[in-house]
Amino acid sequence: MFDLTERRAGVLLHPTSLPGPDGIGDLGEEAHRFVDWAASAGLRLWQWLPVNPIGPGNSPYQSVSAFAGSPWMVALLPLREAGWLDPEADAAAAGPHERAEFDTRRVQFERVLPWRDRQLRRASAGFAARATAGDRARLQAWAASQAHWLDDYALFMALRTHEQERPWWDWPAPWRDRDPAALREAAQALAPELAHWRFVQWRFDEQIGQLRAHAARRGVALVGDLPIFIAHDSVDVWSARHLYRLDPTGQPTVVAGVPPDGLSPEGQRWGNPLYHWPRMAEDRHAWWVARLRRALVHADVVRIDHFRGFTACWEIPADEPTAAGGRWSPGPGRALFDDLREALGPLPIIAEDLGTITPDVVELLQACGFPGMKILQFAFGGDGHHPFLPHSYPRDCVVYTGTHDNDTARGWWDHAPEHERRFCARYLGCDSDDVHLGMIRGALQSVAALALFPLQDALGRPSADRMNLPGTQGGHWAWRFAWHDLTPDLTQTLATLAADSGRLA
Protein backbone atom coordinates (compact mmCIF):
# COMPACT_ATOMS: atom_id res chain seq x y z
CA MET A 1 0.00 0.00 0.00
CA PHE A 2 1.42 3.37 -1.01
CA ASP A 3 1.91 5.79 1.90
CA LEU A 4 0.42 9.15 0.89
CA THR A 5 1.88 10.81 4.00
CA GLU A 6 5.55 10.09 3.22
CA ARG A 7 7.42 13.13 1.91
CA ARG A 8 8.26 12.68 -1.76
CA ALA A 9 9.10 14.82 -4.77
CA GLY A 10 7.95 13.95 -8.25
CA VAL A 11 7.67 14.92 -11.88
CA LEU A 12 4.63 15.20 -14.13
CA LEU A 13 5.31 13.88 -17.64
CA HIS A 14 3.00 11.95 -19.94
CA PRO A 15 4.70 8.93 -21.58
CA THR A 16 3.87 10.35 -25.01
CA SER A 17 6.30 13.21 -24.24
CA LEU A 18 9.27 10.84 -24.01
CA PRO A 19 11.93 10.83 -26.72
CA GLY A 20 12.19 8.00 -29.21
CA PRO A 21 12.40 7.29 -32.94
CA ASP A 22 8.82 6.19 -33.58
CA GLY A 23 7.04 9.53 -33.48
CA ILE A 24 5.52 9.42 -29.99
CA GLY A 25 6.79 8.46 -26.55
CA ASP A 26 5.87 4.95 -25.44
CA LEU A 27 6.34 2.37 -22.67
CA GLY A 28 9.62 0.96 -23.98
CA GLU A 29 13.27 1.52 -23.18
CA GLU A 30 12.97 5.33 -23.10
CA ALA A 31 10.40 5.06 -20.30
CA HIS A 32 12.75 2.80 -18.33
CA ARG A 33 15.54 5.31 -18.89
CA PHE A 34 13.32 8.12 -17.59
CA VAL A 35 12.68 6.15 -14.40
CA ASP A 36 16.45 5.89 -13.95
CA TRP A 37 16.84 9.64 -14.48
CA ALA A 38 14.03 10.44 -12.01
CA ALA A 39 15.68 8.26 -9.37
CA SER A 40 19.04 9.98 -9.93
CA ALA A 41 17.32 13.39 -9.58
CA GLY A 42 15.78 12.43 -6.22
CA LEU A 43 12.28 12.20 -7.69
CA ARG A 44 10.32 9.31 -6.25
CA LEU A 45 7.05 9.97 -8.08
CA TRP A 46 6.33 9.90 -11.81
CA GLN A 47 2.85 11.14 -12.62
CA TRP A 48 1.25 10.87 -16.04
CA LEU A 49 -2.06 11.68 -17.67
CA PRO A 50 -4.66 8.96 -18.38
CA VAL A 51 -3.07 6.09 -20.32
CA ASN A 52 -6.32 5.07 -21.99
CA PRO A 53 -6.82 5.44 -25.76
CA ILE A 54 -6.99 9.09 -26.80
CA GLY A 55 -10.15 10.69 -28.16
CA PRO A 56 -11.20 13.78 -30.13
CA GLY A 57 -8.47 16.40 -30.29
CA ASN A 58 -5.97 13.71 -29.21
CA SER A 59 -7.12 14.22 -25.62
CA PRO A 60 -6.44 11.44 -23.10
CA TYR A 61 -9.49 12.69 -21.18
CA GLN A 62 -12.01 11.63 -23.88
CA SER A 63 -11.35 7.93 -24.38
CA VAL A 64 -13.23 5.13 -26.13
CA SER A 65 -12.53 2.94 -23.08
CA ALA A 66 -12.06 3.46 -19.37
CA PHE A 67 -10.27 0.10 -19.12
CA ALA A 68 -8.10 -0.25 -22.23
CA GLY A 69 -4.59 1.12 -22.65
CA SER A 70 -3.52 3.44 -25.44
CA PRO A 71 -2.31 1.48 -28.49
CA TRP A 72 0.04 4.36 -29.30
CA MET A 73 2.01 3.74 -26.11
CA VAL A 74 2.87 0.18 -27.10
CA ALA A 75 6.61 0.19 -27.82
CA LEU A 76 7.52 -1.24 -31.21
CA LEU A 77 11.10 -2.31 -30.47
CA PRO A 78 10.04 -5.27 -28.28
CA LEU A 79 7.73 -6.42 -31.10
CA ARG A 80 10.68 -6.34 -33.48
CA GLU A 81 12.89 -8.17 -30.99
CA ALA A 82 10.23 -10.87 -30.58
CA GLY A 83 10.28 -11.48 -34.34
CA TRP A 84 6.67 -10.42 -34.87
CA LEU A 85 7.54 -7.14 -36.59
CA ASP A 86 10.21 -7.54 -39.28
CA PRO A 87 11.68 -4.09 -40.06
CA GLU A 88 13.02 -5.11 -43.50
CA ALA A 89 9.81 -6.80 -44.58
CA ASP A 90 7.79 -3.88 -43.25
CA ALA A 91 9.91 -1.37 -45.14
CA ALA A 92 9.51 -3.34 -48.38
CA ALA A 93 5.76 -3.64 -47.90
CA ALA A 94 5.38 0.01 -46.99
CA GLY A 95 7.15 1.52 -49.97
CA PRO A 96 9.90 4.13 -49.85
CA HIS A 97 7.80 7.14 -48.85
CA GLU A 98 5.64 5.83 -46.03
CA ARG A 99 7.88 6.81 -43.12
CA ALA A 100 9.89 9.99 -43.26
CA GLU A 101 11.58 11.11 -40.05
CA PHE A 102 9.14 12.24 -37.40
CA ASP A 103 9.42 15.47 -35.44
CA THR A 104 11.33 14.75 -32.23
CA ARG A 105 9.89 17.76 -30.35
CA ARG A 106 6.18 17.50 -31.18
CA VAL A 107 3.90 14.52 -31.75
CA GLN A 108 2.61 14.78 -35.31
CA PHE A 109 -0.58 12.88 -34.52
CA GLU A 110 -1.94 13.05 -38.07
CA ARG A 111 1.18 11.26 -39.38
CA VAL A 112 2.26 9.16 -36.43
CA LEU A 113 -1.00 7.43 -35.52
CA PRO A 114 -1.74 5.93 -38.96
CA TRP A 115 1.88 4.77 -39.22
CA ARG A 116 1.79 3.25 -35.73
CA ASP A 117 -1.50 1.53 -36.52
CA ARG A 118 0.10 -0.15 -39.55
CA GLN A 119 3.04 -1.33 -37.46
CA LEU A 120 0.77 -2.81 -34.79
CA ARG A 121 -1.31 -4.60 -37.41
CA ARG A 122 1.82 -6.09 -38.98
CA ALA A 123 2.98 -7.15 -35.53
CA SER A 124 -0.31 -8.84 -34.67
CA ALA A 125 -0.23 -10.61 -38.05
CA GLY A 126 3.37 -11.62 -37.35
CA PHE A 127 2.31 -12.96 -33.96
CA ALA A 128 -0.50 -14.97 -35.55
CA ALA A 129 1.96 -16.46 -38.04
CA ARG A 130 5.11 -16.94 -35.94
CA ALA A 131 4.35 -16.91 -32.21
CA THR A 132 5.56 -19.79 -30.08
CA ALA A 133 3.13 -22.05 -28.27
CA GLY A 134 4.23 -20.42 -25.01
CA ASP A 135 3.45 -16.93 -26.29
CA ARG A 136 0.02 -18.02 -27.50
CA ALA A 137 -0.72 -19.60 -24.13
CA ARG A 138 0.32 -16.42 -22.30
CA LEU A 139 -1.95 -14.28 -24.47
CA GLN A 140 -4.83 -16.70 -24.05
CA ALA A 141 -4.45 -16.79 -20.25
CA TRP A 142 -4.21 -13.01 -20.03
CA ALA A 143 -7.26 -12.51 -22.27
CA ALA A 144 -9.29 -14.90 -20.13
CA SER A 145 -8.32 -12.97 -16.98
CA GLN A 146 -9.42 -9.67 -18.57
CA ALA A 147 -12.53 -10.90 -20.36
CA HIS A 148 -14.87 -8.79 -18.20
CA TRP A 149 -13.79 -5.68 -20.14
CA LEU A 150 -11.62 -6.98 -23.00
CA ASP A 151 -14.30 -8.90 -24.90
CA ASP A 152 -16.61 -5.90 -25.22
CA TYR A 153 -13.68 -3.61 -26.02
CA ALA A 154 -12.31 -5.82 -28.81
CA LEU A 155 -15.78 -6.20 -30.35
CA PHE A 156 -16.47 -2.48 -30.06
CA MET A 157 -13.20 -1.60 -31.78
CA ALA A 158 -13.78 -4.20 -34.50
CA LEU A 159 -17.28 -2.85 -35.20
CA ARG A 160 -15.99 0.71 -35.07
CA THR A 161 -13.31 -0.11 -37.64
CA HIS A 162 -15.89 -1.85 -39.83
CA GLU A 163 -18.13 1.23 -39.57
CA GLN A 164 -15.26 3.57 -40.52
CA GLU A 165 -15.05 5.18 -37.06
CA ARG A 166 -18.73 6.22 -36.96
CA PRO A 167 -20.06 6.63 -33.40
CA TRP A 168 -21.89 3.60 -32.04
CA TRP A 169 -25.32 5.28 -32.12
CA ASP A 170 -25.02 5.51 -35.92
CA TRP A 171 -24.33 1.79 -36.36
CA PRO A 172 -26.95 -0.63 -37.71
CA ALA A 173 -29.62 -1.06 -35.07
CA PRO A 174 -28.77 -4.69 -34.14
CA TRP A 175 -25.20 -3.65 -33.30
CA ARG A 176 -26.17 -0.33 -31.79
CA ASP A 177 -28.68 -2.00 -29.48
CA ARG A 178 -26.50 -5.06 -28.79
CA ASP A 179 -28.75 -7.76 -30.19
CA PRO A 180 -27.07 -10.95 -28.88
CA ALA A 181 -27.42 -12.94 -32.11
CA ALA A 182 -26.12 -10.05 -34.22
CA LEU A 183 -23.12 -9.58 -31.94
CA ARG A 184 -22.26 -13.29 -32.02
CA GLU A 185 -22.41 -13.26 -35.79
CA ALA A 186 -20.27 -10.10 -35.95
CA ALA A 187 -17.67 -11.57 -33.58
CA GLN A 188 -17.31 -14.60 -35.83
CA ALA A 189 -17.11 -12.57 -39.02
CA LEU A 190 -14.61 -10.12 -37.53
CA ALA A 191 -12.56 -12.65 -35.57
CA PRO A 192 -9.16 -11.53 -36.97
CA GLU A 193 -9.92 -7.92 -36.01
CA LEU A 194 -10.90 -8.94 -32.48
CA ALA A 195 -7.68 -10.92 -32.21
CA HIS A 196 -5.71 -7.85 -33.24
CA TRP A 197 -7.17 -5.66 -30.51
CA ARG A 198 -6.65 -8.36 -27.89
CA PHE A 199 -3.01 -8.67 -28.97
CA VAL A 200 -2.43 -4.91 -28.72
CA GLN A 201 -3.93 -4.72 -25.23
CA TRP A 202 -1.89 -7.71 -24.11
CA ARG A 203 1.29 -5.98 -25.22
CA PHE A 204 0.23 -2.76 -23.45
CA ASP A 205 -0.33 -4.62 -20.18
CA GLU A 206 2.93 -6.55 -20.47
CA GLN A 207 4.95 -3.41 -21.15
CA ILE A 208 3.37 -1.23 -18.47
CA GLY A 209 3.78 -4.09 -15.99
CA GLN A 210 7.50 -4.30 -16.80
CA LEU A 211 7.82 -0.54 -16.43
CA ARG A 212 6.06 -0.53 -13.06
CA ALA A 213 8.31 -3.33 -11.82
CA HIS A 214 11.41 -1.41 -12.94
CA ALA A 215 10.14 1.75 -11.24
CA ALA A 216 9.55 -0.16 -8.01
CA ARG A 217 13.12 -1.45 -8.09
CA ARG A 218 14.37 2.13 -8.43
CA GLY A 219 12.12 3.44 -5.66
CA VAL A 220 9.88 5.42 -8.01
CA ALA A 221 6.10 5.20 -7.61
CA LEU A 222 3.81 5.71 -10.61
CA VAL A 223 0.86 8.10 -10.29
CA GLY A 224 -2.03 7.51 -12.67
CA ASP A 225 -4.94 9.77 -13.61
CA LEU A 226 -8.62 8.87 -13.71
CA PRO A 227 -11.12 11.21 -15.42
CA ILE A 228 -14.41 11.23 -13.54
CA PHE A 229 -16.57 11.12 -16.70
CA ILE A 230 -16.68 8.84 -19.72
CA ALA A 231 -16.89 9.76 -23.41
CA HIS A 232 -20.30 9.20 -25.01
CA ASP A 233 -18.72 7.38 -27.97
CA SER A 234 -17.14 4.69 -25.82
CA VAL A 235 -17.44 0.99 -25.24
CA ASP A 236 -18.38 1.75 -21.63
CA VAL A 237 -21.55 3.60 -22.61
CA TRP A 238 -22.38 1.28 -25.53
CA SER A 239 -22.07 -1.86 -23.40
CA ALA A 240 -23.97 -0.56 -20.33
CA ARG A 241 -26.39 2.15 -21.42
CA HIS A 242 -28.49 1.68 -18.31
CA LEU A 243 -25.68 3.15 -16.17
CA TYR A 244 -25.95 6.54 -17.90
CA ARG A 245 -28.69 9.11 -18.27
CA LEU A 246 -29.64 8.48 -21.90
CA ASP A 247 -32.84 8.53 -23.91
CA PRO A 248 -34.12 5.39 -25.71
CA THR A 249 -31.98 6.15 -28.78
CA GLY A 250 -28.79 6.26 -26.70
CA GLN A 251 -28.43 10.05 -26.67
CA PRO A 252 -27.68 11.89 -23.39
CA THR A 253 -30.53 13.74 -21.79
CA VAL A 254 -28.05 15.79 -19.74
CA VAL A 255 -24.31 16.32 -20.09
CA ALA A 256 -21.42 17.35 -17.85
CA GLY A 257 -19.64 20.67 -17.57
CA VAL A 258 -18.82 23.46 -15.14
CA PRO A 259 -20.85 26.58 -14.36
CA PRO A 260 -20.11 30.10 -15.58
CA ASP A 261 -17.48 32.03 -13.65
CA GLY A 262 -15.38 35.16 -14.00
CA LEU A 263 -13.04 33.52 -16.50
CA SER A 264 -15.75 31.79 -18.54
CA PRO A 265 -19.08 33.69 -18.68
CA GLU A 266 -20.80 30.78 -20.44
CA GLY A 267 -19.12 28.07 -18.35
CA GLN A 268 -17.74 24.93 -19.97
CA ARG A 269 -19.93 22.36 -21.71
CA TRP A 270 -17.88 19.13 -21.72
CA GLY A 271 -20.60 17.00 -23.30
CA ASN A 272 -19.96 13.76 -21.38
CA PRO A 273 -23.07 11.79 -20.42
CA LEU A 274 -23.81 11.76 -16.70
CA TYR A 275 -23.95 8.61 -14.61
CA HIS A 276 -27.21 7.14 -13.38
CA TRP A 277 -25.96 6.99 -9.81
CA PRO A 278 -28.99 5.20 -8.25
CA ARG A 279 -28.56 2.31 -10.71
CA MET A 280 -24.82 2.17 -10.04
CA ALA A 281 -25.55 1.90 -6.34
CA GLU A 282 -27.75 -1.18 -6.87
CA ASP A 283 -24.72 -3.45 -7.29
CA ARG A 284 -22.48 -1.56 -4.85
CA HIS A 285 -20.86 0.45 -7.65
CA ALA A 286 -19.39 -2.64 -9.27
CA TRP A 287 -18.40 -0.73 -12.44
CA TRP A 288 -16.38 1.76 -10.40
CA VAL A 289 -14.79 -1.04 -8.37
CA ALA A 290 -13.67 -2.73 -11.59
CA ARG A 291 -12.44 0.57 -13.03
CA LEU A 292 -10.33 1.54 -10.04
CA ARG A 293 -9.00 -2.01 -9.65
CA ARG A 294 -7.85 -1.86 -13.27
CA ALA A 295 -6.22 1.57 -12.77
CA LEU A 296 -4.28 0.26 -9.79
CA VAL A 297 -2.80 -2.49 -11.96
CA HIS A 298 -1.04 0.25 -13.92
CA ALA A 299 -0.13 2.70 -11.13
CA ASP A 300 0.61 2.85 -7.41
CA VAL A 301 -1.53 5.94 -6.82
CA VAL A 302 -4.43 7.40 -8.80
CA ARG A 303 -5.42 11.04 -9.10
CA ILE A 304 -9.19 11.35 -9.66
CA ASP A 305 -10.09 14.33 -11.80
CA HIS A 306 -12.99 16.67 -10.86
CA PHE A 307 -13.50 15.16 -7.41
CA ARG A 308 -16.21 17.69 -6.60
CA GLY A 309 -18.45 15.86 -9.09
CA PHE A 310 -18.93 13.10 -6.52
CA THR A 311 -20.89 15.47 -4.28
CA ALA A 312 -22.63 17.38 -7.07
CA CYS A 313 -21.89 17.95 -10.74
CA TRP A 314 -23.02 20.65 -13.15
CA GLU A 315 -25.87 19.09 -15.12
CA ILE A 316 -26.59 20.72 -18.48
CA PRO A 317 -29.66 19.80 -20.57
CA ALA A 318 -28.35 18.14 -23.71
CA ASP A 319 -30.11 20.63 -25.97
CA GLU A 320 -28.46 23.61 -24.26
CA PRO A 321 -25.57 24.97 -26.36
CA THR A 322 -23.65 26.35 -23.35
CA ALA A 323 -23.23 25.52 -19.69
CA ALA A 324 -25.16 28.62 -18.59
CA GLY A 325 -28.46 26.71 -18.50
CA GLY A 326 -27.19 24.00 -16.16
CA ARG A 327 -27.83 23.22 -12.51
CA TRP A 328 -26.19 21.27 -9.71
CA SER A 329 -27.14 17.60 -9.57
CA PRO A 330 -26.26 15.35 -6.61
CA GLY A 331 -23.52 12.73 -6.88
CA PRO A 332 -23.05 9.48 -4.97
CA GLY A 333 -21.20 11.00 -2.04
CA ARG A 334 -19.45 8.81 0.48
CA ALA A 335 -21.38 5.65 -0.45
CA LEU A 336 -19.25 5.20 -3.57
CA PHE A 337 -15.97 5.36 -1.66
CA ASP A 338 -17.26 3.12 1.11
CA ASP A 339 -18.03 0.49 -1.54
CA LEU A 340 -14.62 0.99 -3.18
CA ARG A 341 -12.81 0.65 0.13
CA GLU A 342 -14.77 -2.46 1.10
CA ALA A 343 -13.90 -4.11 -2.23
CA LEU A 344 -10.32 -2.90 -2.65
CA GLY A 345 -9.02 -2.03 0.79
CA PRO A 346 -7.20 1.26 1.53
CA LEU A 347 -7.53 3.64 -1.42
CA PRO A 348 -4.36 5.37 -2.68
CA ILE A 349 -6.23 8.32 -4.20
CA ILE A 350 -5.32 11.96 -4.80
CA ALA A 351 -8.42 14.13 -5.15
CA GLU A 352 -8.41 16.95 -7.71
CA ASP A 353 -10.41 19.39 -5.61
CA LEU A 354 -9.96 22.55 -7.67
CA GLY A 355 -12.69 24.85 -8.98
CA THR A 356 -15.96 25.60 -7.18
CA ILE A 357 -15.43 23.90 -3.81
CA THR A 358 -18.37 23.96 -1.43
CA PRO A 359 -18.47 22.74 2.20
CA ASP A 360 -19.91 19.36 1.18
CA VAL A 361 -16.87 18.72 -1.02
CA VAL A 362 -14.54 19.50 1.89
CA GLU A 363 -16.59 17.23 4.12
CA LEU A 364 -16.40 14.34 1.66
CA LEU A 365 -12.66 14.81 1.20
CA GLN A 366 -12.07 14.72 4.94
CA ALA A 367 -14.39 11.75 5.46
CA CYS A 368 -12.51 9.76 2.80
CA GLY A 369 -9.08 10.89 4.02
CA PHE A 370 -7.80 11.75 0.54
CA PRO A 371 -5.23 14.50 0.05
CA GLY A 372 -6.35 17.41 -2.10
CA MET A 373 -4.34 19.57 -4.48
CA LYS A 374 -2.67 22.98 -4.28
CA ILE A 375 -1.47 24.84 -7.39
CA LEU A 376 1.39 27.25 -6.69
CA GLN A 377 0.71 29.34 -9.79
CA PHE A 378 -2.66 30.31 -8.30
CA ALA A 379 -1.15 31.56 -5.03
CA PHE A 380 -0.09 35.10 -5.91
CA GLY A 381 -3.35 36.78 -6.89
CA GLY A 382 -4.19 37.87 -3.34
CA ASP A 383 -2.27 38.46 -0.13
CA GLY A 384 -0.44 36.39 2.47
CA HIS A 385 -3.62 34.57 3.48
CA HIS A 386 -4.11 32.80 0.14
CA PRO A 387 -4.66 29.05 0.78
CA PHE A 388 -2.33 28.06 -2.07
CA LEU A 389 0.71 29.76 -0.52
CA PRO A 390 3.08 27.11 0.90
CA HIS A 391 2.90 28.38 4.49
CA SER A 392 -0.87 27.72 4.42
CA TYR A 393 -0.74 24.04 3.40
CA PRO A 394 -1.79 21.13 5.57
CA ARG A 395 0.54 18.14 5.49
CA ASP A 396 -2.04 15.90 3.82
CA CYS A 397 -2.07 17.63 0.44
CA VAL A 398 -0.27 17.48 -2.89
CA VAL A 399 1.31 20.65 -4.25
CA TYR A 400 2.02 21.22 -7.94
CA THR A 401 3.82 24.17 -9.46
CA GLY A 402 1.23 23.68 -12.22
CA THR A 403 -0.60 20.85 -13.98
CA HIS A 404 -1.11 19.82 -17.59
CA ASP A 405 -3.88 22.43 -17.83
CA ASN A 406 -1.70 25.30 -16.58
CA ASP A 407 0.82 27.40 -18.41
CA THR A 408 4.44 26.56 -17.70
CA ALA A 409 6.00 28.39 -14.74
CA ARG A 410 7.98 30.65 -17.06
CA GLY A 411 4.95 31.18 -19.27
CA TRP A 412 2.91 32.09 -16.20
CA TRP A 413 5.50 34.71 -15.25
CA ASP A 414 5.55 36.14 -18.75
CA HIS A 415 1.78 36.66 -18.76
CA ALA A 416 0.99 37.35 -15.08
CA PRO A 417 -0.05 40.82 -13.89
CA GLU A 418 2.80 42.89 -12.52
CA HIS A 419 1.54 42.73 -8.91
CA GLU A 420 1.50 38.92 -9.03
CA ARG A 421 5.06 38.82 -10.35
CA ARG A 422 6.25 41.16 -7.60
CA PHE A 423 4.53 39.07 -4.90
CA CYS A 424 5.96 35.85 -6.36
CA ALA A 425 9.47 37.33 -6.51
CA ARG A 426 9.30 38.50 -2.87
CA TYR A 427 7.78 35.30 -1.57
CA LEU A 428 9.97 32.80 -3.42
CA GLY A 429 13.12 34.90 -3.69
CA CYS A 430 13.30 34.54 -7.46
CA ASP A 431 13.12 36.66 -10.58
CA SER A 432 12.36 36.21 -14.26
CA ASP A 433 15.52 34.16 -14.82
CA ASP A 434 14.84 31.47 -12.22
CA VAL A 435 11.11 31.65 -11.46
CA HIS A 436 10.72 28.00 -12.53
CA LEU A 437 13.30 26.81 -9.99
CA GLY A 438 11.89 29.20 -7.40
CA MET A 439 8.47 27.59 -7.75
CA ILE A 440 9.93 24.10 -7.58
CA ARG A 441 11.91 25.04 -4.46
CA GLY A 442 8.82 26.59 -2.85
CA ALA A 443 6.76 23.48 -3.54
CA LEU A 444 9.41 21.05 -2.29
CA GLN A 445 10.16 23.03 0.87
CA SER A 446 6.49 23.22 1.86
CA VAL A 447 4.98 20.88 4.45
CA ALA A 448 2.87 19.15 1.78
CA ALA A 449 3.58 15.44 1.81
CA LEU A 450 3.82 15.20 -1.98
CA ALA A 451 5.27 17.88 -4.26
CA LEU A 452 5.30 17.59 -8.06
CA PHE A 453 6.15 19.73 -11.06
CA PRO A 454 5.81 19.29 -14.83
CA LEU A 455 9.10 18.52 -16.55
CA GLN A 456 8.60 21.72 -18.56
CA ASP A 457 8.99 23.69 -15.32
CA ALA A 458 12.25 21.96 -14.43
CA LEU A 459 13.51 22.90 -17.91
CA GLY A 460 12.29 26.50 -17.68
CA ARG A 461 10.22 26.18 -20.86
CA PRO A 462 7.95 28.98 -22.23
CA SER A 463 4.21 28.93 -22.92
CA ALA A 464 4.73 27.33 -26.33
CA ASP A 465 5.67 24.10 -24.52
CA ARG A 466 2.62 23.80 -22.29
CA MET A 467 0.71 20.53 -22.59
CA ASN A 468 -2.86 21.81 -22.89
CA LEU A 469 -4.89 25.01 -23.02
CA PRO A 470 -8.40 24.23 -21.70
CA GLY A 471 -11.35 25.43 -23.74
CA THR A 472 -9.42 25.55 -27.01
CA GLN A 473 -9.02 23.06 -29.83
CA GLY A 474 -5.99 21.84 -31.75
CA GLY A 475 -2.27 21.59 -31.16
CA HIS A 476 -2.38 20.19 -27.63
CA TRP A 477 -0.90 17.10 -25.92
CA ALA A 478 2.02 17.09 -28.37
CA TRP A 479 5.09 18.33 -26.43
CA ARG A 480 8.20 16.13 -26.23
CA PHE A 481 11.63 16.58 -24.66
CA ALA A 482 15.08 15.38 -25.72
CA TRP A 483 17.60 13.60 -23.53
CA HIS A 484 20.18 16.36 -23.84
CA ASP A 485 17.67 18.65 -22.07
CA LEU A 486 18.30 16.74 -18.85
CA THR A 487 21.75 18.10 -18.13
CA PRO A 488 23.94 16.87 -15.25
CA ASP A 489 23.59 20.30 -13.61
CA LEU A 490 19.78 20.11 -13.70
CA THR A 491 19.80 16.57 -12.35
CA GLN A 492 22.08 17.57 -9.48
CA THR A 493 20.04 20.69 -8.71
CA LEU A 494 16.82 18.68 -8.41
CA ALA A 495 18.50 15.98 -6.32
CA THR A 496 19.85 18.64 -3.96
CA LEU A 497 16.43 20.29 -3.62
CA ALA A 498 14.83 16.91 -2.89
CA ALA A 499 17.47 16.09 -0.28
CA ASP A 500 17.39 19.51 1.40
CA SER A 501 13.60 19.36 1.70
CA GLY A 502 13.62 15.90 3.29
CA ARG A 503 12.03 14.14 0.31
CA LEU A 504 14.55 11.35 -0.22
CA ALA A 505 14.02 7.87 1.18
* Cα–Cα distance for residue pair 201/440, rounded to 1 Å: 37
* Cα–Cα distance for residue pair 43/499, rounded to 1 Å: 10
Instruction: Specify whether 305 is catalytic.
Output: yes
Beta bridge partners of 399: 374, 451
Catalytic residue among 29, 117, 135, 405: 405
* Cα–Cα distance for residue pair 257/330, rounded to 1 Å: 14
* Cα–Cα distance for residue pair 200/26, rounded to 1 Å: 13
Residue 374: count other Cβ atoms within 10 Å of its Cβ.
Answer: 24
Instruction: Specify whether 405 is catalytic.
Output: yes
Catalytic residue among 26, 152, 205, 305: 305
Whether 124 contacts 107, CB under 8 Å:
no
* Cα–Cα distance for residue pair 469/308, rounded to 1 Å: 21
Instruction: Specify whether 236 is catalytic.
Output: no
CA dihedral 349, 350, 356, 359 (to 10 degrees): 60
The greatest distance separating any two alpha carbons of the chain, rounded to the nearest whole angstrom, comes to: 70
The set of long-range contacts for 413-419, using a CB threshold of 8 Å and a minimum separation of 24, is 414/462, 414/463, 415/463, 416/380
Catalytic residue among 26, 300, 315, 352: 352
Cβ neighbours of residue 157 closer than 8 Å, sequence gap 6 or more = 64, 193, 197, 235
Distance of CA 69 to the CA centre of its chain: 10
Whether 19 contacts 462, CB under 8 Å:
no
Beta bridge partners of 374: 399
Q: Looking at the annotation, which residues are catalytic?
A: 305, 352, 405
